[in-house]
Amino acid sequence: MQIHRGRQKNLMKRAIDFTLALVLIALLGIPIILIGILIKCTSRGSILYWSDRVGRNNCIFRMPKFRTMCIGTPELATHLLRDPEGYMTPVGRFLRSHSLDELPQLFSVLCGQMSFVGPRPALFNQDDLIALRTAAGIHRLIPGLTGWAQINGRDELSIPEKVRLEREYLQRRSLRWDIDILGRTVLTVIRKEGISH
């Protein structure tokens, strides 16, 4: 009975993710195109940056973002770079501070690789984070555009604290809580909280 309820919740969450992603892509189509043109006109390289990320059950998938860093930037988490600002494109800082670089991930939600709410997908080489998530069972969740850890510190959190918050989400997750997290995410983005770069 509990397994059946779990499947129903997963199906409902997937249906909501798909529908909401489709609506937002339609509504934000023109801004997405304009951002792409702006990136192309202000820096050399592709519009999108494809990053190898860890998805559900630790499977690797390619996650798109609008490119905010110059070609040749080391493939590390931004906070691990010696001089992150030195690698930024002319519009990169603006896109990141307003989380506009994340918009292409709506297509990842549409195809089921991501959800709106879940743990943020780790880089393929973040071995310490991946190991802690796997030990806590968090790897069973579909990664999200935002999550409980995101709205409670984002870049400012240590890895153990991030995993503690993600374990809490794993244990307590519900549709109502997802809606609450999405609402708080909007406020966090508006206030630009927890963004170190």
Q: What is the mean pLDDT of the chain?
A: 90
> Distance (Å, rounded) from C-alpha 143 to C-alpha 98?
21
Higher pLDDT, residue 4 or 81:
81
Higher pLDDT, residue 80 or 180:
180
What does the domain layout of the chain look like in residue ranges? 12-191
Render pLDDT for 5-60 as a digit per residue (tens, 0 to 9). 667 888 999 999 999 999 999 999 999 999 999 999 999 999 999 999 999 999 99
> Distance (Å, rounded) from C-alpha 159 to C-alpha 162?
5
Give the pLDDT score at 4: 60
User: What does pTM read for this prediction?
Assistant: 0.86
Eight-class DSSP state of 65: E
Give the pLDDT score at 79: 64
Instruction: Read off the tokens for 79.
Output: 């906070």
Render pLDDT for 52-94 as a digit per residue (tens, 0 to 9). 999 999 999 999 999 999 887 777 666 666 777 778 899 999 9
> Distance (Å, rounded) from C-alpha 15 to C-alpha 33?
26
Give the pLDDT score at 7: 79
Q: Are 129 and 80 in contact (CB under 8 A)?
A: no
Is residue 196 pLDDT above 50, yes or no? no
